[in-house]
Amino acid sequence: MIHSQANKFVSVTPPAAIVDNGDYTTAEIDTLGFDYCTIYCYLGATDIAMTKLEVHEGDTSGSHTQVSSLVYGSSNDIAGSTSALPTADDDNKCFIFDIDLRNRKRYLDVDATAGNGSAGTFATIFAILSRADEGPVTAADRGAGNIVRA
């Protein structure tokens, strides 16, 4: 087994227009069948700090509450320090949530808000689900349009 082939890509916020003083539109992540999720918030050009970047969870689709340990600005980071929200100086940086899905609720969603700047913040958000009970075998099962293998 090649472990990276047992992953699933989930588009949460696809590349789109820059957001200024507003919430990003996000798609929910259904984690059924996976034990781990890594969520990436990849920033492009930004001229203002984000005002919110956090993960919510729920037992049912569409119903989510904040996960207090997954909030940029108050949760601890990988070094054990209090994390900080992305700032106006974080162009082209990636902010990551590592989530052990065991003992978590089934559905995840990202709540992200751009601050009020002269232009705003460009971001795309995606998740990689891994440690599957049963590995996905088709491109669609892996969240891809198609897969080329050499």
For residue range 22-41, list pLDDT tens digits in order: 999 999 999 999 999 999 99
Q: Which residues of 39-73 are buried (b: 16+ CB within 10 A; e: fewer)?
A: bebbbeebbbbbbbbbbbbeeeeeebeebeebbbe
Q: How far is it, in rounded angstroms, from Cα 104 to Cα 147? A: 30
pLDDT (mean) for 107-112: 97
Q: Does residue 40 contact residue 92 with C-beta atoms inside 8 Å?
A: no
pLDDT (mean) for 8-27: 93
Q: What is the pTM of this model?
A: 0.93
Report whether pLDDT(119) > 60.
yes
Report whether pLDDT(1) > 90.
no
pLDDT (mean) for 90-119: 95
